[in-house]
Amino acid sequence: MRFEEQRERLVEHELRLLGIRDEAVLRAMKEVPREAFVAEEMREFAYRNAPLAIGSGQTISQPLIVAHMAEALELAPDDKVLEIGAGSGYAAAVLSRIAKEVYTIERHRQLADTAAERLKRLGYENVEVRHGDGTRGWPEQAPFDAIVVAAGGPGIPSALLRQLSIGGRLVIPIGEELESQQLVRAVRRGEEDFEYDELGAVRFVPLIGEAGWPADEAIEKPTVSRGVVRPRLGLPDLIRDVAEPFESIEKLDFKPLLDRVGSARVVLIGEATHGTSEFYRIRAEITKALIERKDFNFVAVEADWPDAYRIHDFVTHKEREEPHAWEAFARFPTWMWRNHETLDFIHWLREHNLTRQASRRRVGFYGLDLYSLFTSIHRVLRYLEKVDPEAAEIARIRYGCLTPWEGDPANYGRAALTGRYRNCEAEAVRALQDLLKRRVDAAMRDGEELFDAQVNARLITDAEEYYRIMYYGSDESWNHRDTHMFRTMRLLLERYGDGAKAVIWAHNSHVGNAAATQFGKHGQLNIGQLCRQAFGAGAYLIGQGTDHGTVAAASLWEGAVEIKQVRPSHPDSYERAMHLTELNRFVLPLTKSKSPQLTAMLAKRRLERAIGVIYRPDTERQSHYFDASLPGQFDEWIWFDETSAVDPLTTLQAAEHEPAHPFAIIDR
């Protein structure tokens, strides 16, 4: 097999599968001929994923380590990079294909001269090699955007930290033993402000120099040289100390979590994706515990009101004179609620409600979202046709303003905004006002159905406005949507009476307090923030996260559901810190943590991942990460290191399922 083919195979069948995801790094690894950086007799082994000897007691690092360290540097095309330990020049060549300038230092004269000649001969014009003590850095060329050290030291040379630019990244193996280290990443946030992360166990040759190990190999227990910084690497360790690991969802003891929830009236439980089985399953188990042990009254989810109301009727055993005449959760994304995980909870809730005494209202299930504009119109009209046909005809005329846009409500917003079509706000508001006047006499006769109709009418007015303002900008439409969800939740609390308690299911981006995220800085709010403002400590916010696994998601809006691989987490993210604990799953108290140090460290803003119904792994950093302060967002964090996709419920499965359930096609 030719070297080019071996190189391609190494990258695609080993490095990529072993977790390297930075496409710039993978391209560089494909481009640089590793066989040109080893001795003639070693070339046949060039594309084994292993270190190889290069003389002077040194080695060329295995390709996976080279790629892993390059990825951790987060290089940009205009970056200036310093490498300590040039060796054969291979790693510098790889870095040169990603960054603008590379400076590399080698303490062995022969290796330095050979590397310089080789790099020049192979055409790597943006690499400069120096012979010297790498622990002193290269002050004449500082500052550097990135520094990488290819040898293990007792700590980080302070000279290298000083030569980082603000925002610069340094990757180095450090440890108290000569032959065993932890790969550490330092990020310079300010003149004297550095953040440190552990990236995993490694084994490198010793870093010899003024701020490294002494050169005398006869010393059995080397003393640490001057100029070494021993960083506090404690975040994964602190998380590990405070975390409450659990073996499985089924065996999790919920008592500590429920004790922390205390007397909260509203518990919001989030998810990092809309398609992960573990998130749905543990959220259901927490909700069961809240219902059974703390007497919570209803569950309200990020779903359309009419569709969720079918589930409400089902779980509360409501007998209807006529069936619902549409298929629940039939619009994109169907798998978000139409899945086996949700169905299992629905069946549990239906059975639980049979055990409740007649004097206690059965636990309800409701939707908070506002996308069901035309289904809601149909529900209002059906109610009015039954109780007041004349009022139904008036409402039909008023809502007729919207009917041309039933196929695509978003087009209504565009037309109203551009003036090509009048907006329907006044008609929708008048229809709502008419329904609200029916409070007294109708409430005595058919209060539940009237409440359903009134909520649908409110939804229509809010949805009409939502589709008009969605073209003004994402913040305004987002705020309008989450405000609608919050108001609907408040209506439900009022309906259930004094002391009523709610469980909210929604994405982390809705549940976590927006004020603690980059979006909050620009005026965006969410239901979590509104609950925090309204209820204070009476609102308890729970988020969830994962490092890798599979997820059910689409590639574009209205696209088919796919089972996609979730990329390992970003080095700068909360998810990476959780992953480095090496715990498979745990519950982590944030605001009620016993470790103020952990809370303080977690409060420093990092990246956080959010995958909705769309997942684009190729642009994950831009599409799915945002800046946040985790303890400001949530009171609690639930972690699953590896997760799996939800199990979508197909129409065929729904029709054939026993016992019957509200996802079935159309009741007959």
Structure-model confidence comparison of residues 268 and 457, the more confident one: 268
For every residue of 602-638, which 3-state class applies, written as one string? Answer: HHCCEEEECCCCECCHHHHHHHHEEEECHHHHCCEEE
Residue 571: pLDDT over 80: yes
- The structure's pTM equals 0.64
The Cβ of residue 193 has, within 10 Å, a number of other Cβ atoms equal to 10
Indicate the SS3 state at residue 369: strand
Residue 154: pLDDT over 80: yes
Residue 435: pLDDT over 60: no
Half-sphere exposure of 375 (CA within 13 A, CB side): 21
Can you give the pLDDT at residue 358?
58
Can you give the pLDDT at residue 452?
80
Please give the helix or strand (H or E) that residue 371 lies within, else none. none
Cα distance between residue 77 and residue 93, in whole Å:
14
Segment 142-164 mean pLDDT? 93
Helix segments in 437-507, DSSP class H: 439-469, 474-496
The residues, any chain, with a CB within 8 Å of residue 26's CB and separated by 6 or more, are 11, 15, 16, 20, 67
* Strands 298-304 and 364-369, sheet pairing: parallel
The share of the chain scoring above pLDDT 70, in percent, equals: 79
* Strands 52-55 and 58-60, sheet pairing: antiparallel
For every residue of 83-126, which 3-state class applies, written as one string? Answer: EECCCCCHHHHHHHCCCCEEEEEECCHHHHHHHHHHHHHCCCCC
Residue 333: pLDDT over 50: yes
Can you give the pLDDT at residue 77?
95
610 near 643, Cβ under 8 Å? Answer: no
Q: Calculate the CA 122 to chain-centre distance.
A: 42
Segment 537-553 mean pLDDT? 96
Q: 422: buried, middle or exposed (CB in 10 Å: 19+, 13-18, 0-12)?
A: exposed
Cα distance between residue 393 and residue 627, in whole Å:
51
The Cβ of residue 70 has, within 10 Å, a number of other Cβ atoms equal to 27
Kindly indicate the confidence band of residue 553, based on its pLDDT and cuts at 50, 70 and 90: very high
Segment 95-105 mean pLDDT? 97
pLDDT, averaged across the chain: 84
* CA neighbor of 458 nearest in space, from 475, 436, 426, 489: 436
Let me know the angle formed at the C-alpha of 317 by 313 and 323, rounded to the nearest 5 degrees: 50
Tokens read off for 323 = 């069936």
Segment 462-471 mean pLDDT? 62
Residue 572: pLDDT over 60: yes
Least confident of 56-70, 71-85, 219-233, 472-486: 219-233
Give the residue numbers marked as catalytic. 61
Segment 551-576 mean pLDDT? 92
* CA neighbor of 465 nearest in space, from 487, 440, 495, 491: 487
Least confident of 210-214, 220-224, 352-356, 575-579: 220-224
Indicate the SS3 state at residue 490: helix
> Model confidence over 242-298: pLDDT tens digits?
999 999 999 999 999 999 999 999 999 999 999 999 999 999 999 999 999 999 999
Domains of the chain: 55-231 (3.40.50.150), 241-369+470-656 (3.40.1660.10), 370-469 (no CATH)
Helix segments in 181-301, DSSP class H: 235-242, 255-261, 277-294
Residue 605: pLDDT over 60: yes
216 near 210, Cβ under 8 Å? Answer: no
Can you give the pLDDT at residue 377?
66
* CA neighbor of 537 nearest in space, from 259, 263, 254, 258: 263
The Cβ of residue 650 has, within 10 Å, a number of other Cβ atoms equal to 12
Residue 349: pLDDT over 50: yes
Residue 428: pLDDT over 70: no
Residue 387: pLDDT over 70: no
Segment 598-610 mean pLDDT? 88
> Model confidence over 615-667: pLDDT tens digits?
999 888 888 999 999 999 999 999 999 999 999 987 666 666 666 677 754 43
Q: Give the phi and the psi of residue 619 in degrees, each rounded to 5.
A: -120, 35
Can you give the pLDDT at residue 445?
46
Structure-model confidence comparison of residues 596 and 152, the more confident one: 152
Structure-model confidence comparison of residues 21 and 500, the more confident one: 500
Can you give the pLDDT at residue 410?
52
Can you give the pLDDT at residue 612?
93
Indicate the SS3 state at residue 574: helix
Segment 131-137 mean pLDDT? 94
Segment 358-384 mean pLDDT? 74
Cα distance between residue 366 and residue 610, in whole Å:
24
Please, what's the b/e burial string for 132-170 (b: 16 or more CB within 10 A of its CB; e: otherwise)? ebbbbbbeeebbbbbbbbbbbbbbbbebbbebbeeebbb
